[in-house]
Amino acid sequence: MKKLLLLALTAVSLTASAQNSASNKAISAKADALQDKIIAWRRDFHEHPELGNREVRTSGIIAKHLKSLGIEVQTGIATTGVVGILKGGKPGPVVALRADMDALPVTERVPLPFASKVKTQYNGQEVGVMHACGHDSHMAILMGVAEVLAGMQKDLRGTVKFIFQPAEEGAPAGENGGAEQMVKEGVLENPKVDVIFGLHINSQTEVGKIVYRPGGTMAGVSDLQITVKGRSAHGAYPWSSIDPVVVSAQIISSLQSIVSRNVNVTENPAVVTIGVIQGGSRFNIIPESVKMQGTVRYFTEYDEKLVTDNVRRIATKTAEAYGATAEVMLPFSNHYPVTFNDVALTAKMLPSLEAAAGKENVMLRPPVTGAEDFSFFQQKVPGIFFFLGGMPKGGNSITAPSHHTPDFYLDESGFTLGVKALCNLTLDYMNGSKGK
């Protein structure tokens, strides 16, 4: 009896594997046929970038495309977000796929025929606007995924929710936005999402390759502000002061010991960086106060508490030792959780990525100390966030222009791999889950 049961289970497994293989090949062909459209969408978005919570033209193009495919569309979510709901012909789970939409206040320097010439006001200054992080490609890829899956609607075992998210780079001052706001407005409900997948193009990973990491893949992040208050005096008579500049220098120096002496770096990395120091107005006046701003990054809740507790302790106690005071605001204005890839889900879905790119082109990567607000979705449902190569073949990953810079550049030939990977993840997850 046990032998018969084993044979039956093996037969079912082989049948499912064969079905997945056939669907993966069909997806590959459909994605390749869409390459020119995907590139055209990306170039249009690239030439007409919009900052966070201002993606009006962008969201209009996306909504129009989804509607043309017969997909149910919701707009105005978290200001300019767009959600498409594709109900398959068969019962099954709800799979969410996410792309971010916003550009950055960066003036483009790449000599492309579709380079951005857009300018706008940002923090009271006129700035250039550029898709300097690849969100234009994310949108184009997900529009391609929508077209492929809409063509397979009657065979889909479940529902696909396409999430086009504004303000991943952060909402403008005084506004709410991004993934956190989309979650608050119920984007993971009605229908309730079971799993979510997302990708990020990477300009320093060779085109044709996918890199991933189970567990903590991108850092949790909090910004910080420390205000040191002392006593002002003439620069010629420093003994009359409590010098907040000297105190701040000691604090900054001591903060570096948190990573080198408190965090177990053999398990997870961490970062403590001070990026802004403001104090004083004249060379011979010791100021009354100094303000510092910076960022802390970590990969576990334990390390988050360890780092933040030590920042507060070092700042306040160092100031106290000099007769000054230090006010610590941590987080100051933003906090992103760790982008955490569900370990069991990642292991289960790894063959789907390998089917898209070839096993030799799917590689494990170290943790990334950058942050992503995709993490807010992963706090609510299991998810996988992976990286798609965008560097020309043979390029140097060290010298290739990085994200958020004026020279950021992508090889467009790798976009269809993103379509294949997201489609494979969706169909393989659906086919591997029980109907409901």
| DSSP labels, 183-197 | HHTTTTTTTTPSEEE
For CA atoms 171, 176, 179, 182, give the dihedral sign. Answer: negative
Alpha helices in 276-365 (DSSP H): 301-321, 343-357
Distance CA 420, CA 365 (A): 21
Six token digits for residue 97: 């796929």
For CA atoms 360, 364, 370, 372, give the dihedral sign. Answer: positive
Distance CA 236, CA 284 (A): 7
Select from 55, 75, 258, 347 the least CA-distant residue to 172.
Answer: 55
For CA atoms 435, 145, 376, 255, give the dihedral sign. Answer: positive
Select from 35, 365, 351, 383 the least CA-distant residue to 206.
Answer: 365
Distance CA 112, CA 46 (A): 10
Do residues 150 and 86 touch, judged by C-beta distance below 8 A? yes
For CA atoms 101, 107, 108, 114, give the dihedral sign. Answer: positive
Do residues 234 and 215 touch, judged by C-beta distance below 8 A? no
| Catalytic residue annotation | 336, 412
